[in-house]
Structure 1
Amino acid sequence: MTIALCGCGNMGAAIAARLQTAGAELVVFDLDRARAQATGARVADSLSELATRASTVFLSLPTAAASRAVVAELSRALPQGAAVVELSTVAPADAVAAHDRLAARGIRFVDAAVLSGPMQMCDGSTTLLVGGDDADLEATQPALELLGGERIRIGRVGSGMAAKVAHNAVSHAVMVVLLEATSLAASAGVDVETFAELLSRPDAALLRPLQHRLRERVFDERYGGGMPMEAALKDSRLALELAQETGVPLFAILAAHTPYELAVAEGLGREDYAALARMWERWTGKALRPAAE
């Protein structure tokens, strides 16, 4: 199978290495020709040439703007029946717009957000969050299989990118919370390694909100018993007071205090603090329930 790849940065180079390890014939294009040559693959001189070399084009580009520009050019250069697989991280709306533009020319499109890093891509253990039409997914399946690892079908076009954007929001916010909380603990005399070990327990603050509160309570709308919202608000106040005493700057933890104030004011004080979900359901008009089987 011959695959075309546009973009040979850190992730693009890893994709190139993985595809060649999997036995694909590979042709690449990058504005930095030396970077393209470093992959060891055949190098196209232009996007137009790249489009003539293979029926499936993988994109691994640094910005959404770069992806939009490449899709625009490929829409004019690729033949009907060709396929574009978006491996860059772009907004869901960008993925939908790319699909619509390419579909109008008879070109298939799938968004396959890469959840893992370059190392996992190289060794074939990456996870792809895939969105697209059934026919497009079926047509691109052989090419996606060359990347190895796990492919999780999220849903319609753009849903793979939506899942990754939301996933990364958790990762980035949790990093800030971890630094703030560890600084609080250290400033109060707690050994940081001991604190990290505490957080890693299955019944501690990292995993339990996901497994118990989100999946067991929010998804089932089960808010009786548990830890009352007003108790969680009290604990949040204690954290803010400790930060003041120790001089630890807070950003994420401070912002997270406000929803608890609002929830208690709305009469949710005796419900488990997972009932915060009620407010987001009202604000967004979207029930936080798993899709029906």
Structure 2
Amino acid sequence: MTTTRIALCGLGQMGLPVAGRLATAHDVLAYDISVERRAMAEAHERVTTTDRLDDLAACDTIVLCLPNPAVSRSVLGDLAGTISQGTLVVETSTVLPTDVREWATLLAPAGARVLDAAILSGVAQMESGTATLLVGGSTTDVESARGVLDALGGAGWSRFGDLGTGMAAKVVNNGVAHAVMVVLVEAFAMARAEGVDLADVAAVLERPDGGLVRPLTHRVMERVARGEYEGGMPLEAARKDSTLALAMAQRSGTPLFATQAAQSVYDLALAAGLGRADYAAVATLWEGWAGAPLTFEARTGS
């Protein structure tokens, strides 16, 4: 077990449990502007704190866990003049892929390197050692950070590709989660207005053939992945069902926002002549708009 001292910048809601997990395998030097948060961090064995950001530059590995990209940019700007050649910065804050690439450019003159290790999980998972990391960076840098990644990613971590790809995967995941949250609330509001037991609705949605799971496991993982849209449920039928949902909600006075936006996509797909194709063919609209295929080699059990 390595005893290399790891620097940590940021002891907020996620940063504090990150300090605890790092301390299971490393000595940790942590910085935060809050005296209170520093005191809380020092309750962990092997964690010491500092009120001087520059002190972190003495460590070979610096982990960032900060509230937004602007703070990360400011911290690295301050450290750029004192950071040592070969230092590896591990960005765990949720930022854009272009941000971590900017960090790399910023630190390149000093000979420092950057790795993105987005935390997929929540605070409770980090505290319990069951968090998952989505990693982007060169294979050499990833290998150099293995001790940090193993300590933080108790449930596992995966390299998605070059610098920024881990953050891209995290942003995509969060975008889906936040959009699905709106769709689910709309669905439950519709069900409540019609007198349907909400527990029954939840049970239907979580089924393998339910409306929450099957669009991913069948329509995306099978049809979109292979670009196969013959047969299946016709898009015109899916559009009809979407229209019925809008009509039912209108009659009960239930506002729908995400569902209405999705209906617009089916209108466009129908106008594009996709009415008899499986409704997963909406993917071809984005292929045309973005100029890139959405087919891929699906991996089961991932």
> What residue number does 2:21 align with?
18
Task: Confirm or deny: 8 A CA contact 2:134 2:166 kept in the other structure.
Answer: yes
Matched to 2:219, the amino acid is R
Q: 1:36 aligns with which of 24, 35, 38?
A: 38
Q: 1:249 aligns with which of 252, 255, 267?
A: 255
Task: Note the C-alpha offset of 1:143.
Answer: 2.1
Q: Distance in 1 between matches of 2:171 and 2:25?
A: 31
Task: Note the C-alpha offset of 1:55.
Answer: 0.9
Aligned length: 291
Matching of residues 1-293 of structure 1 within 5 Å: 1-20=4-23, 22-40=24-42, 41-52=47-58, 54-147=59-152, 148-290=154-296
Q: Distance in 1 between matches of 2:16 and 2:162?
A: 28
Task: Note the C-alpha offset of 1:267.
Answer: 0.4
Q: Distance in 2 between matches of 1:76 and 1:31?
A: 20
Please provide the CA RMSD for this pair: 1.4
Specify the SS of the correspondent of 2:294: coil
Task: Note the C-alpha offset of 1:149.
Answer: 2.5
Q: Distance in 1 between matches of 2:123 and 2:50?
A: 23
Specify the SS of the correspondent of 1:4: strand
Task: Note the C-alpha offset of 1:103.
Answer: 2.6
Task: Note the C-alpha offset of 1:291.
Answer: 6.2
Specify the SS of the correspondent of 2:95: coil
Task: Note the C-alpha offset of 1:250.
Answer: 0.7
Change (3 A) 1:252 1:60: same
Specify the SS of the correspondent of 1:23: coil
Per the normalisation by structure 1, the TM-score is: 0.96
Structure 2: which 5+ runs fail to align? Answer: none
Q: Distance in 2 between matches of 1:91 and 1:220?
A: 29
Task: Confirm or deny: 8 A CA contact 2:225 2:298 kept in the other structure.
Answer: no
Task: Confirm or deny: 8 A CA contact 1:131 1:159 kept in the other structure.
Answer: yes
Task: Note the C-alpha offset of 1:44.
Answer: 1.4
Task: Note the C-alpha offset of 1:139.
Answer: 1.4
Q: Distance in 1 between matches of 2:78 and 2:186?
A: 45
Task: Note the C-alpha offset of 1:33.
Answer: 2.1
Q: Which runs of 4+ in 1 moved over 2 A?
A: none
Specify the SS of the correspondent of 2:233: coil
Task: Confirm or deny: 8 A CA contact 2:222 2:298 kept in the other structure.
Answer: no
Task: Note the C-alpha offset of 1:95.
Answer: 0.9
Q: Distance in 2 between matches of 1:243 and 1:164?
A: 33
Task: Note the C-alpha offset of 1:292.
Answer: 10
Q: Distance in 1 between matches of 2:221 and 2:200?
A: 28
Q: Distance in 2 between matches of 1:130 and 1:211?
A: 24
Task: Confirm or deny: 8 A CA contact 1:103 1:109 kept in the other structure.
Answer: no
Identity %: 48
Q: Distance in 2 between matches of 1:291 and 1:186?
A: 40
Specify the SS of the correspondent of 1:73: helix
